[in-house]
Structure 1
Amino acid sequence: MNYIRTGLLLAALTALFLVVGYALGGQSGMLIALVIAVVGNAASFWFSDSIVLRMYGAREVGPQDAPAFYGIVQQLAQRAGLPMPRVYLIDTDQPNAFATGRSPEKAAVAATTGLLNGLSREEIAGVMAHELAHVKHRDTLTMTVAATISGAIGALGQIFMFQSLFGRRDEGDRGGGGLGMIGGLAAMILAPLAASLVQMAISRSREYEADRGGAEICGNPLWLASALGKLEMLARGGVVNEPAERNPATAHLFIVNPLSGGGFASLFSTHPSMEDRIARLQHMAGATSGGDAYAPRPTAAGAGPWGAAPPPARGRGRPWETGPVQRAPRRGPWG
């Protein structure tokens, strides 16, 4: 049902884009809208992953750089039946994570140092399983397309607004394209708002689905529920994600809303309420306590459901801080 709803919402967003083009510029406006949509979606398809990773200063890591974190992602990808994605770290104290890439074969997952420093190994597994569920469902591509069309609708309104203010008009031209001046003004004002509402509906739908899929992948819904509760608490600590504040159109990528706005702004969030997400995961855990698809797969004694348990930590540090090779301390406990 979520897939059908997402498809209908994307179709509605595209139709709205074409209607706005017609309202503001008639048939020529619709043609301009179609060209912008095709070019924007093509650019998003090929370059969105590299753009967003560069935007957040993400640094790619491998098994030698962050063995424990890389190992968690690797084990989860194997459980999900996915190719191994590229793994990135973002140096910021705000705990968060996201996935990007146009397909599972071209996917990348990123986590902040704040997330790795603030969560347990099980909670990190829950978060990264959520991101891999996005990859498996190709949500990153879906949301990138939705964000591109939504942004283009706003840009189209701005183009025709400046054209109406400063452009030349033929005699007898009433302006406003195919719907007249009043229709054109209404489209400029209401269409961006409507596009944003549709985009947010798509994003919220995909977040719920990724929570469910993440619970399946990691094997325990409560790991993700615990992580979301802790992320909600830590997010109230006031740590600002500067790149996200400068580029709010990318907020939908993250597992929790990275923007600092609250109050009225929270009504337009791209994420569902954290309380509802946690309640759904807790309900899943209760419904599956007797053993079913979400139950951990059989593993060796002491192993987690996403793979073999790590070797005991030598010296200080949490269990997930150690990898196959013991190394001298690096920039943080994630390496």
Structure 2
Amino acid sequence: MNYIRTAMLLAAMTALFMGIGYMLGGPGGMMIALLVAAGMNVFSYWNSDKMVLRMHHAQEVDERTAPELFKMVRQLAANAELPMPKVYLINNPQPNAFATGRNPQNAAVAATTGLLDMLSPEEVAGVMAHELAHVKNHDTLIMTITATIAGAISMLANFAMFFGGNRNNPLGIVGLIVMMIVAPMAAMIVQMAISRTREYAADRMGAEICGEPMWLASALSKISGGVARIHNDDAERSPATAHMFIINPLSGERMDSLFSTHPNTQNRIDELRKLAQSGLGGQGYGRAKARTQSSGVSGPWGGGSSEPPQRPKGPWG
């Protein structure tokens, strides 16, 4: 089903791209757009993950440069029965994270320095487990290709006015103006429809991978508040990648509406609470070892305190 879903998305995006070409240059423009879209699909399959990481100035880290984060991801990947992904750190004060890669064998997870500074290790484990769930579900390919092609559609639509006088344009200047509005919106709706349904599934699987649904629930609450307060310049420059993040980096979403890239955060938290109440929890991401690897506390809800444990700067910040 994942391969079918990916093929359907690529077909829809290609059709939209061809439609823009037809509006700009008639049948000839449509054929040029088809060739460009085909080349872009092939290029995106192999390179879109690298492009997204580059857009957000992500730097790869290892066990030497970020030992806590790297060991955490390795343990979580083992829990999920996944190959060890590459781990990236983004020097950005906004708390957020995303996963990318065309398959589990070529996956990467990225976290911002703001995420590591603002969240406890247990909450970070919940976030990384969520991202690994996207990898396990093969969501990352469709996410990265969607971001690449949606960005190209929006850019092409923005250039449409330069072709307003083209005699091959079958719709005239009015059609071009309509296309400039409708095409980016159509691409955005495709992104939103895919992302919203996928996030709930990743939350559930992420809770199973880390073993503590409330770690992720607490993380989502903090990330949502941080995103609402802290501007993300790289995300604003590349809005087509917004659906890839665990929380929309462009703004704090409050409404579970058609035009939200993510489900309502409180709704996601409520679903995670239901999982906790159903009996999932009490294991920790390292199973029996998690307690001793997290500064001696059982998480932000353990030990009689809701405060995150104190930890030194360095590999986290």
Letter of the aligned partner of 1:122 in structure 2?
Answer: E
Larger radius of gyration: 1
- CA deviation profile, 1:14-73 (whole Å, cap 9, x unmatched): 333333333443322221221221222222222222233233332222222222211110
Instruction: Kindly indicate whether residue 86 of structure 2 is the aligned counterpart of residue 86 of structure 1.
Output: yes
Matches of residues 18-167 of structure 1 in structure 2 within 5 Å? 18-165=18-165, 167=166
Instruction: Kindly indicate whether residue 196 of structure 2 is the aligned counterpart of residue 204 of structure 1.
Output: yes
Partner of 1:216 in structure 2?
Answer: 208
TM superposition shift of 1:279? 1.6
Instruction: Kindly indicate whether residue 242 of structure 2 is the aligned counterpart of residue 251 of structure 1.
Output: yes
Q: Distance in 2 between matches of 1:181 and 1:114?
A: 45
CA distance 1:241–1:296, change in 2 (3 Å)? same
CA distance 1:261–1:222, change in 2 (3 Å)? closer
Contact preservation (8 Å) 1:204, 1:271: yes
CA distance 1:66–1:262, change in 2 (3 Å)? closer
Gaps of at least 5 residues in structure 1 are 170-174, 298-302, 322-328
Partner of 1:325 in structure 2?
Answer: none
Instruction: Kindly indicate whether residue 163 of structure 2 is the aligned counterpart of residue 176 of structure 1.
Output: no
- CA deviation profile, 1:208-252 (whole Å, cap 9, x unmatched): 22212212211222221111012122333x222222222222222
Contact preservation (8 Å) 2:123, 2:215: yes
Gaps of at least 5 residues in structure 2 are 297-307
Contact preservation (8 Å) 2:25, 2:169: yes
Equivalent position SS for 1:92: coil
Contact preservation (8 Å) 1:296, 1:305: no
Out of 232, 236, 242, the residue aligned to residue 241 of structure 1 is 232
Q: Distance in 2 between matches of 1:263 and 1:234?
A: 14
Partner of 1:279 in structure 2?
Answer: 270
TM superposition shift of 1:85? 0.7
Q: Distance in 1 between matches of 2:176 and 2:55?
A: 35
Instruction: Kindly indicate whether residue 214 of structure 2 is the aligned counterpart of residue 230 of structure 1.
Output: no
CA distance 1:274–1:82, change in 2 (3 Å)? same
CA distance 1:222–1:65, change in 2 (3 Å)? same
- CA deviation profile, 1:77-130 (whole Å, cap 9, x unmatched): 011111101112222221111112222111111112221122122211110001
CA distance 1:243–1:157, change in 2 (3 Å)? closer
Contact preservation (8 Å) 2:45, 2:141: yes
Equivalent position SS for 1:308: helix
Q: Distance in 1 between matches of 2:288 and 2:50?
A: 30
CA distance 1:246–1:154, change in 2 (3 Å)? closer
Letter of the aligned partner of 2:79 in structure 1?
Answer: R
Partner of 2:181 in structure 1?
Answer: 189
Equivalent position SS for 1:334: coil
Equivalent position SS for 2:164: helix
Q: Distance in 2 between matches of 1:191 and 1:311?
A: 49
Count of residues paired in the alignment: 305
Contact preservation (8 Å) 1:24, 1:187: no
- CA deviation profile, 1:141-180 (whole Å, cap 9, x unmatched): 2022222332333344345532233x4x3xxxxx533x67
CA distance 1:72–1:182, change in 2 (3 Å)? same
CA distance 1:83–1:230, change in 2 (3 Å)? same
Letter of the aligned partner of 1:235 in structure 2?
Answer: V
What TM-score, normalized by structure 2, do the two folds share? 0.82
CA distance 1:65–1:157, change in 2 (3 Å)? closer
C-alpha RMSD over aligned residues: 3.3
Q: Distance in 2 between matches of 1:263 and 1:117?
A: 24
TM superposition shift of 1:74? 0.5
What TM-score, normalized by structure 1, do the two folds share? 0.78
Letter of the aligned partner of 2:218 in structure 1?
Answer: S
